[in-house]
Structure 1
Amino acid sequence: MLVLPLVALVVRAPWSELGSVVAQASVVQALGLSLTTAAASTVISLLLGVPLALALGRTRKWPSIPRRLLRALVTVPLVLPPVVGGVALLLLLGRRGVLGSLLDSWFGITIPFTTAAAVIAQVFVSMPFLVLAVEGALGASDRRFEVAAATLGASRWTILRRVTLPLIWPGLSAGALLCFTRALGEFGATVTFAGSFPGITQTLPLATYLQLQTDPDAAIALALVLMAVSLVVLVSLRDRWIPGLAS
């Protein structure tokens, strides 16, 4: 169930046309946009997700019910259909949305159907992977090192930078990697909230879907390219970022 679909994709790929399909300007543009938006969404997820994971994993003064509620809210995008997430983003940040109407009337800022909208959609669906991975790493780490650093007079920032982050680095790296690959393959929330405009919001998954309606062989070739990019990212960074999985 996991391997055979990928094998079928490789077997049915139009290898004779693969070079010409990949060399098309629209494909190169879509691939570049996918890599750029996925990288941007990963950076944003790190900036927002790591403090959130630290709050969930290290703040013991919170009552259990608010912590559980916050954790449940973080995991909702994992089980929510991506199209529903796109609709929710549209209702929040659209021109008539809860916040989007204020941004439009006060500052003249329109977010939907822009590259920023594609990044926001990717952050929405991919950041939970990072938060859960970092929180899990925090739960598995030995807090005695942090306590020892505190007794030696280290500040909270020093403990975070010199002790906590190095301890959870494998989990943090794994979460960032999962976040990037999930953002790279995002489709539903992106097409709903950002649309599919070449050079602006049409990432490689969207281009693959559009090609499937008109040229199935080209769609298979694009799907193969997207799978190859994901595999290259996973294989090239696996030993460096997730040494525990190398054995």
Structure 2
Amino acid sequence: MKEKIDLSAVSETMLVPLYARAIESKKENPEFIDQTAIKVMDSLDYNFKKRFKTSTNKMNFWGCSARTVILDNLTKEYIKENPDATIINIACGLDDRFSRVDNGQIIWYNLDFEDIIDLREKLIEKNDRIINIASSALDFTWMDKIENNENVLVIAEGFLMYLDEKEVEELFKQISHKFKNVKLLIELMSNWMVKNQKAHDTVRTTGAVFKWGINESKDFEKLCSSYKLLAEYNLTDLMKKYSPIFIRLISPVLRSRNNRIALFEKIN
């Protein structure tokens, strides 16, 4: 019997990247293979095709796949340099990045609301080095459950746009206080998209509301002065693989409006 789900607007957004990863994984020459996404999608009593029609969500799907590739590769690079690291996936949803990047040594923490963690426990294979924490990211007591605070990578994918600016500032302030050597891999949305969010597939489909955006990745340093920008990766560059001519034609405009993955390091 398939698992029935009843999700609120923001929680439902986690199904978009899940579906995108499953679609990509089933292609003849996929950019990545996510067997967990396929398994979870098939286990849910939810009409993905009807809810997220490819005809109206293809740009969103391309963006989700692009950020998966970027984040997976950057996480692998971090793990190569820090093989015994602690990875914290904030607002993890139903993503199983651990299985795609694991080196057999890392300790991985998944953080999300209780109903999402309950779904993970039912649908995603367990591992002794994976700890699931049921908590709001803004209830900072979750940080006390992280055992190794020496070398920590924090991932925030598809999440920060649902917080307001003060919440973003306080979250990363608390992270900088708690953990010694920290790097961040965070997805940043443009101010333009926040202001024009009705044009975004996810907002139209789920009713979720974007609250926070940032014009330049470098501006995050002004908001959170404990961190410095090391690199940024615009999703547009990888999305070209999915529709080369179309994306190239609109890329000058799309790059200024599209999400990007930014890598930051805590200043010690």
Q: Which has the larger radius of gyration?
A: 1
More helix by share: 1
Higher strand share: 2
Is the structural similarity TM-score above 0.5? no
Q: TM-score, normalised by structure 2?
A: 0.27
Name which structure has the greater RCO, CA cutoff 8 Å, separation 6+: 1
What TM-score comes out, normalization by structure 1 length?
0.28
